[in-house]
Amino acid sequence: MAGEIQLNSVSLATESGSAITLGSAVSLNSAAYASTSEVQGTHTTFSGSHSDTATTINLASVSGISAGDYVVGEGIATGTTVSSVGASSVVISAGLDTDSVGIAGGEPISFYKSNKVLSPGLVAGGLCRAWLQIDGTTTPTITASYNISSVADTASGIITVTFLTSMPDAKYAVLTTGTRNDPESAYDQSHAEELNTTYYKIRTGVYSTGAVTTDFDLVSSAVFR
């Protein structure tokens, strides 16, 4: 049913069917909502050398980076912030991971403002990069997923999972779990193997006196990086 929205007898909008039309009295002011620069953070790519145990990151440019910004990158703990900014380096609030070989090799490092509408710096290191649930009763079939292109029945108890968007490297963690509708007294186990940028494999099996790969009825998996 058609209707009208008024404020102090001034027509703000009219509705007819599924269409809403703004009245001429309504003025959209660009200052009323956030601009792209106000929402997005500053991104730069690491360039230079440093000690893996230091809290200083040397950059080709520190333009746009300020104290208090969140720092996101491989080998940097989630929630790390910029303590101070120098001429060509930034000091961060937490030490780099001693295994942060990727940073020294030029892995991207992102800097996000803490007062943005959504600050990825708060959660970037803990985001799930891909997940899926597989119905494996016959041929493995995806029942629900995110960032997964396909699954393939490589062999009994082995499923190849292909990403929709590739991982930047193979340094990611995979959590897997599975169930069987089988009352057999044995230990069911599942794990990931052959981690690659474009795919990884899930192996499911029964472990009692020995290990035997077998298909599970339901398999779930999540990827974090």
Q: What is the pLDDT of residue 195?
A: 95
Query: Closest by alpha carbon to 176, among 189, 186, 165, 163?
Result: 189
Question: How many residues are listed for the chain in this entry?
Answer: 225
Tens digits of residue pLDDT in 14-24? 777 767 776 66
Q: What is the pLDDT of residue 179?
A: 82
Distance CA 1, CA 174 (A): 52
pLDDT at 210 over 80: no
Tens digits of residue pLDDT in 127-185? 788 899 998 777 888 988 888 999 999 888 889 999 988 887 888 899 998 887 765 65
Q: What is the pLDDT of residue 205?
A: 82
Query: Closest by alpha carbon to 72, among 125, 116, 119?
Result: 125
